[in-house]
Amino acid sequence: MALYLIGDVQGCDAALQSLLEKISFSPSRDSLVLLGDLVNRGPASASVLRRMMKLGSAARCLLGNHDLNLLAVAHGVRKPHRNDTLDDILDAPDRADMLVWLRHQRMALAENTQDKAYLMVHAGVLPSWTATDTVALGSEVEAVLRGPDLGDFLHSMYGNDPSTWHHSLTGIERLRVIVNALTRLRFCSARGEMEFATKEGAGAAPEGYMPWFDVPGRKTAEVIVAFGHWSTLGWMRDRNDVISLDTGCVWGGSLSALRVDPRTASANELIQVPCMQAQRPG
Q: Which residues of 137-169 are buried (b: 16+ CB within 10 A; e: fewer)?
A: bbeebbebbeeeebeebbeebeeeeeeebeeee
Question: In terms of C-beta distances under 8 Å and separation of at least 24 residues, what long-range contacts does 143-152 make, across chains too?
Answer: 144/175, 145/63, 145/71, 145/103, 145/104, 146/103, 146/104, 150/71, 150/75, 150/103, 151/75, 151/77
| Alpha-carbon 225 to chain mean position | 12
- How far is 133 from 282, CA to CA, in rounded Å? 35
pLDDT digits (tens, 9 = 90+) for 97-109: 999 999 999 999 9
Is pLDDT above 70 for 281?
A: no
Residues, the chain, total? 282
Q: What are 120-144's pLDDT values in tens digits?
A: 999 999 999 999 999 999 999 999 9
Domain-located, residue 109 = yes
DSSP states of 53-112 = HHHGGGEEEB--HHHHHHHHHHTTSSPPPTT---HHHHT-TTHHHHHHHHHTSBSEEEEE
Per-residue confidence at 75, pLDDT binned at 50, 70, 90?
very high
- Residue 209 located in a structural domain: yes
CATH number at residue 205: 3.60.21.10
Q: How far apart are CA 68 and CA 108, in angstroms?
A: 14
- Does some domain include residue 280? no
pLDDT number for residue 262 = 63
The b-or-e profile of 53-78 (16+ CB within 10 A means b, else e) is eebeeebbbbbbbbbbbbbbbbeebb
Single pTM value for the model: 0.95
The residue range of the domain holding 203 is 3-274
Residue 126's closest CA among 234, 233, 227, 219? 219
| Average pLDDT for 154-161 | 97
Is the pLDDT at 161 greater than 50, yes or no? yes
Going by C-beta distance under 8 Å and a sequence separation of 6 or more, which residues neighbour residue 129?
137, 165, 181, 219, 220
First to last CA, the chain: 39
Average confidence (pLDDT) over 81-93:
96
Residue 281 lies in a domain: no
Cβ atoms of 127 and 212 closer than 8 Å:
yes
What's the pLDDT at 279?
A: 52
Question: Is 282 domain-assigned?
Answer: no
For residue 140, the 8-state DSSP code is H
- At 264, the pLDDT band (50, 70, 90 cuts) reads low
Domain-embedded: residue 246: yes
Place 113 in a pLDDT band, splitting at 50, 70 and 90.
confident
For residues 197 and 208, give the distance between their C-alpha atoms in angstroms, rounded to a whole number.
Answer: 14
- Identify the weakest region by mean pLDDT among 4-18, 25-39, 253-267: 253-267
Given this model, what pLDDT does residue 282 score?
A: 40
How far apart are alpha carbons 105 and 50 in whole angstroms? 14
pLDDT digits (tens, 9 = 90+) for 180-210: 999 999 999 999 999 999 999 999 999 999 9
d(CA 166, CA 161): 12
Helices then strands, counting H and E runs in the chain, come out as 8, 12
Q: What percent of the chain has pLDDT over 70?
A: 96
Categorize the per-residue pLDDT at 277 as very low, low, confident or very high, splitting at 50, 70 and 90.
low
Q: Is residue 267 part of a domain?
A: yes
Q: In the prediction, which pLDDT does 18 show?
A: 97
pLDDT at residue 94 is higher than 80: yes
Instruction: Give the model's confidence band at 238: pLDDT under 50 very low, under 70 low, under 90 confident, else very high.
Output: confident
Structural domains of the chain, count = 1
The answer to whether residue 279 is domain-embedded is no
Compute the mean pLDDT over every residue in the chain, rounded to the nearest whole number. Answer: 94
